[in-house]
Structure 1
Amino acid sequence: MTTTRTTRTTEREHALATTLRETITGDVIDRDDPRHDEARRVWNGLVDRHPAVVARCRGTDDVVAAVAAARRHRPPVSIRGGGHQVAGSAICDDGLVIDVSGMSTVTVDPVSRTARVGAGARWADVNAATTPHGLAVPGGEVSETGVAGLTLGGGLGQLQRAFGLSCDALRSLEIVTADGMVRTASPTEHADLFWAARGGGRGIGVVTAFEFALFPLGPDVAHSLVLYPYEDAASVLRAWRDLAVGAPETVSPEFALWSIPPDPGFPAEMHGAPVVVVAGLHAGPAEDGIEALAPLAQLGTPLVDVTGVSDYATSQTGSDPLFPSGARYFFKSHFLDRLDDDAAAAVLAADRGRPTPQSLVIVRTLGGAIDRVGADASAYAHRGARFNVSIDAGWTDPALDATAIGWARRGWESLRPFATGGMYVNFAGLDDDADRTATFGAHAARLDAIARTYDPDGILAAAGARHEAGPRPS
């Protein structure tokens, strides 16, 4: 909640804005600017925070100047990349938002199979640049997701079992630390920062660019979306579980309890009806993919089987309309080592009372390339888990806030007995839900030590702090 503003507070905020206007080339948007409401808005409409100043950086020099202003005036700080992070950590109350969303250039070198990606880019930008070359970075499942937030938190996605997490594809990154230095972090330079950036989330500095390794893929890929009757959910989940355990690493099978979207491709009377969704994408030649994905449509009697081929960039946009910007979201997740009959029953039970057709329970298959990175080789703390289960509430009416968040929290609690105790930082509820022991496990102490090394005065500490973004029903 925004603090009570005093004359002294107003003077400090004015001084901060003045310093920024004198030192950066990008826009400086304070509370009196008519663009303030637009500048503080992020993808998750549940997040309603009021920063003192938003500094829209045009390049690395602007970021250095913004960090210097933070060091001088000591406001709370948050860092905005794509603005898609569910918890809304891109925006702080009464502080400085260092906004790098305009730094979104993607440059591809198809010979070295690398891409340099600005920290404000979204996966749509990356896919558009890499797909024509038959190359890809393992990204997320919605193309509007920001590259920075997903990667710094780990980066689950449809290519994860074949190529690993998004953070596993990192070769280096450019980062501005709290002392204002521009550093390159890689396996051979500032290796501690590089370790932390791969799954350690935010709070270690302001990343301005990523260098990713690219993997051969496409341009065309095979992908599958199969709908089964909701009343068959138990049998389909058991069959899906058995399939997922033995699936080739070129496929990362997904199972969801959801609702039929209001798509013209479905009869109007079916819109909003509960349904089982099974999906996958083949990370290999398209001509081999149809056969590899065929078992996804053999788990029962499908209502709809949408298996086909398209270019990779297009395949990644299919879910975008189902998660529109400005709607309200609350996601919480667990990692599971196994999905036995009791755990499967708990997944089905968690779906009961789903508050809106936009809400869902989704199970993602892990393993494969994720496990080929050592457990302590990066800050990502959940190598070895077999599944991730996420309870995703989505709604538009603010009057449903308590109902929707309460449903997700209760479902998450009901699955706790079957979970590892770990939680994916990108699906950790609101910022205050992201318990460091759950999200970073044994790596939390090392992450804290690295943060103290590069930011001993806590200049950017608020960028990793927890903020309340909405109601907390029990």
Structure 2
Amino acid sequence: MEKNRVLPPISMRGEILQPQDAGYEAACHIYNGMIDKRPAMLVRCADVADVIAAVNYAREEGMLLAIRGGGHSGAGLGMCNDGMVIDLSLMRGIHVDPEARTVLVEGGCTLGDVDHATHAFGLALPGGIISTTGVAGLTLGGGLGYLTRQYGLTIDSLLEADVVLANGHLVKASAQQNPDLFWALRGGGGNFGVVVSFLFRVHPVDNVVAGPMLWPMEDAPEILRWYSNFIKTAPETINGFFAFLMVPPAAPFPEHLHLQKMCGIVWCYTGPPSGAAAALQPARAFKTPALDMVGTLPMPALQSMFDGLYPPGLRWYWKADFVAEMPEEAIAEHVRFGNLLPTMHSSMHLYPINGAAARVGRHDTAWNFRDATWAMVIVGVDPDPRNDEKIMAWARAYWDALHPYAAGGAYVNFMMEEGDQRIRDTYGANYPRLAKVKAQYDPQNLFRVNQNIHPAEREHIFT
């Protein structure tokens, strides 16, 4: 779009912010403080009619269009320069049906919003470890979290979605209606339209036995070796992600561990409380943790446990891969770079995606790596822009060293803007079908500020 172009007004109920307006600067802030973008127009939609009006306007005016749900995109893909941002943050309605065990969630909701609503009924939605994460982006990318091994990815609990298409039409996507679109939404990102609401199946999870166990870095080779074997066959009521970390210098961590580099596993056990000790006994028996903070807590407390450590505005650089196996050579590289953690907030996580998530066929949804064991993410994180180069160099070097042992591709929600081939690698054999669905529902690629799937050359469903 040309700069300084005078745009006609939009008729809508929500707020429209432009660079000269009060509140514009604050509204442009996103979770990753390393990314700074300035749209010509930020449209805070109040309802579905506003979304339809905004999509039609962007298409007719030839504006670059970005969609922001919770604003957690590591690559900053909920924001754009000079174009329009459709901001769904005012659309946060939730309805729980405890008898049907479903929850209807509007596109601007965060994971914390959903946890608050569902926990009142002893129910939970699988996905996420930070409560400020947007449900829309989490879901459309696949959705990893503490319940993945027991209940699958977030998309495996998705029953239907209401979507505003590039032509401004509102459609429902489900197994019965627009099934090709429903298939593509489950892992294909924001390529196909603006999802204004999701209907999920939710699961009986109330209090859990959960929290981190930490070990000294010198124990990391043994712990990583043990963990990589244990998690492959552990009961599905046990989830645990492995991490390298620097202990925060604050309560509840004991002072003698402050700022020490350590390895850890953050556990979540959802079975009968009486079985928790036995379920986690193998970890404690293998090597006594230096710090054991596992205890009984409500599921929303676990989901928000790291919110204070990772507030919005920190500067993030992400590198990721899917991982099937953990050979000795890979363990050695992990330990080498774990010892080189550049800042307190920087980390590496291995999220298990076996168990229930692996029982879904790799072509049943757009998510391609159902046969991987983990989604690995390496994050260089710090509040200070003077440390950008340091955290980026560490993350890149770490990824370069581990990539030869990867399964290929990466979880799209853990990717920066890494180019077309990386996206194709991530979707693998599912990419051609995704490109065909894209051609059907967004032939002009209006929705391209994302991990973009290019529309195939073919007939599409509207002209």
Fold in common (TM above 0.5)? yes
Distance 2:450 2:189 in 1: 10
Q: How does 1:20-419 map to 2 (within 5 A)?
A: 20=10, 23-218=11-206, 220-419=207-406
1:216-267 residue CA offsets vs partner (Å, 9 max, x unmatched)? 112x111131111111111111122222122111112221111111222233
Distance 1:351 1:172 in 2: 41
Bigger Cα displacement from structure 2, 167-176 vs 134-143: 134-143
Unaligned runs of 5+ in 1: 467-474
Bigger Cα displacement from structure 2, 263-272 vs 450-459: 263-272
Flag the 1:32–1:431 CA change in 2: closer, same or farther, 3 A: farther
* Residues 160 and 366, structure 1, Cα contact 8 Å, conserved in 2: yes
Distance 2:169 2:60 in 1: 15
Distance 2:449 2:413 in 1: 17
- In the TM superposition, residue 434 of structure 1 has moved relative to its aligned partner by 8.0
Code of the residue aligned with 1:184 in structure 2: it is: K
Code of the residue aligned with 2:431 in structure 1: it is: A
Distance 1:318 1:26 in 2: 33
Distance 1:245 1:184 in 2: 37
* Residues 221 and 285, structure 1, Cα contact 8 Å, conserved in 2: no
Distance 2:3 2:107 in 1: 31
**Scaled by the length of structure 2, what TM-score is found?**
0.94
1:41-83 residue CA offsets vs partner (Å, 9 max, x unmatched)? 1111111011110000011000000001011101111000001
Distance 2:283 2:335 in 1: 19
1:163-183 residue CA offsets vs partner (Å, 9 max, x unmatched)? 000111100000000010000
* Residues 256 and 277, structure 1, Cα contact 8 Å, conserved in 2: yes
Code of the residue aligned with 1:323 in structure 2: it is: Y
- In the TM superposition, residue 126 of structure 1 has moved relative to its aligned partner by 0.6
SS in structure 2 opposite 1:9? coil
* Residues 161 and 252, structure 1, Cα contact 8 Å, conserved in 2: yes
* Residues 77 and 449, structure 2, Cα contact 8 Å, conserved in 1: no
Distance 1:448 1:352 in 2: 42
* Residues 86 and 430, structure 1, Cα contact 8 Å, conserved in 2: no
Distance 1:148 1:238 in 2: 35
SS in structure 2 opposite 1:111? coil
- In the TM superposition, residue 329 of structure 1 has moved relative to its aligned partner by 0.9
Aligned-residue identity in percent: 36
1:120-169 residue CA offsets vs partner (Å, 9 max, x unmatched)? 10110111111121111102111111101111001111100100001111
* Residues 261 and 341, structure 2, Cα contact 8 Å, conserved in 1: no
Distance 1:201 1:434 in 2: 16
- In the TM superposition, residue 465 of structure 1 has moved relative to its aligned partner by 4.6
Q: How many residues are treated as equivalent by the alignment? A: 453
Instruction: Report the counterpart of residue 19 of structure 1 in structure 2.
Output: 9
Distance 1:67 1:452 in 2: 17
Flag the 1:39–1:295 CA change in 2: closer, same or farther, 3 A: same
Bigger Cα displacement from structure 2, 197-206 vs 243-252: 243-252
Distance 1:99 1:64 in 2: 13
Distance 1:309 1:212 in 2: 26
Bigger Cα displacement from structure 2, 36-45 vs 237-246: 237-246
Distance 1:288 1:213 in 2: 26
Code of the residue aligned with 2:129 in structure 1: it is: E
* Residues 57 and 102, structure 1, Cα contact 8 Å, conserved in 2: yes
Code of the residue aligned with 1:156 in structure 2: it is: L
Code of the residue aligned with 1:19 in structure 2: it is: P
* Residues 101 and 120, structure 1, Cα contact 8 Å, conserved in 2: yes
Distance 1:260 1:459 in 2: 44
* Residues 76 and 463, structure 1, Cα contact 8 Å, conserved in 2: no
* RMSD of equivalent CA atoms: 1.7
Unaligned runs of 5+ in 2: 454-463
SS in structure 2 opposite 1:55? strand
* Residues 68 and 180, structure 1, Cα contact 8 Å, conserved in 2: yes
Is residue 14 of structure 2 the alignment partner of residue 9 of structure 1?
no
Distance 2:312 2:348 in 1: 20
- In the TM superposition, residue 463 of structure 1 has moved relative to its aligned partner by 4.7
